[in-house]
């Protein structure tokens, strides 16, 4: 089952939720409107009428309230890093499966480099081994793309592997111009 995209009253995407939680929010009257294809969910059968209850929920729901945003930056982990960089090695430019990739620190940690979004890129294990404990310049390796900090919209895309078409179209409009996720 796919997840539901939850937006605040201003239309800003906030988080993903499961269908059950979205149904509860709709039943409580907390949803102002919905977008995308609706799915119909069936409940129990009424003893009084003999009819089965049902409720429909759209793929994108907009709450009546403003939501508080904690961190708008996704956590830096290999899964998110590889997704940001589209599984492309920053040095040879080839596409790899996750098992053949590693995190490379442009300025090595042993030389004062930090474990941050702007100092980390996706690298194949061969290129990372060749670069070793050097900067790209010292290793005579050209960086093919500039690392950046993903936005909250990119964070939402990175969190969900099963984004539905309508959800992705809504999110893509809000992606920053520099985002590599625009080509998805």
How do residues 6-54 score in pLDDT, each as one tens digit? Answer: 999 989 999 999 999 999 999 999 999 999 888 888 888 888 999 988 8
Structural domains in the chain, sorted by start: 4-71+153-172 (no CATH), 78-131 (1.10.30.50)
How do residues 49-107 score in pLDDT, each as one tens digit? Answer: 999 888 889 999 999 988 877 667 888 999 999 989 999 999 999 999 999 999 999 99
SS3 state of residue 100? helix
Handedness of CA 56, 62, 64, 70 (dihedral sign): positive
- Measured from the Cβ of residue 98, the count of other Cβ atoms closer than 10 Å reads 12
Q: Judge contact between 127 and 101, C-beta under 8 A.
A: no
Q: What's the mean pLDDT in 139-161? A: 90
């Amino acid at each position: 089952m796919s997840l539901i995209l939850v937006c605040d009253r201003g239309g800003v995407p906030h988080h993903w939720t499961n269908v059950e939680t979205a149904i509860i929010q709709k039943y409580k009257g907390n949803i102002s409107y919905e977008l995308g294809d609706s799915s119909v969910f069936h409940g129990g059968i009424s003893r009084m009428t003999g009819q089965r209850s049902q409720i429909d929920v759209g793929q994108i729901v907009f709450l009546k309230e403003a939501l508080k945003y904690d961190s708008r930056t996704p956590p830096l982990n290999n899964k998110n890093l590889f997704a940001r960089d589209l599984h492309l090695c920053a040095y040879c430019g080839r596409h790899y499966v996750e098992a053949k990739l590693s995190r490379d620190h442009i300025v090595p940690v042993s030389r004062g480099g930090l474990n941050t979004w702007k100092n980390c890129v996706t690298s194949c294990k061969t290129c990372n081994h060749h670069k070793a404990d050097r900067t790209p310049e010292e290793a005579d390796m050209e960086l093919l793309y500039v690392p950046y900090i993903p936005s909250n919209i990119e964070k939402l895309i990175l969190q969900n592997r099963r984004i539905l078409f309508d959800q992705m179209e809504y999110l893509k409009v809000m992606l920053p111009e520099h985002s590599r996720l625009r080509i998805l």
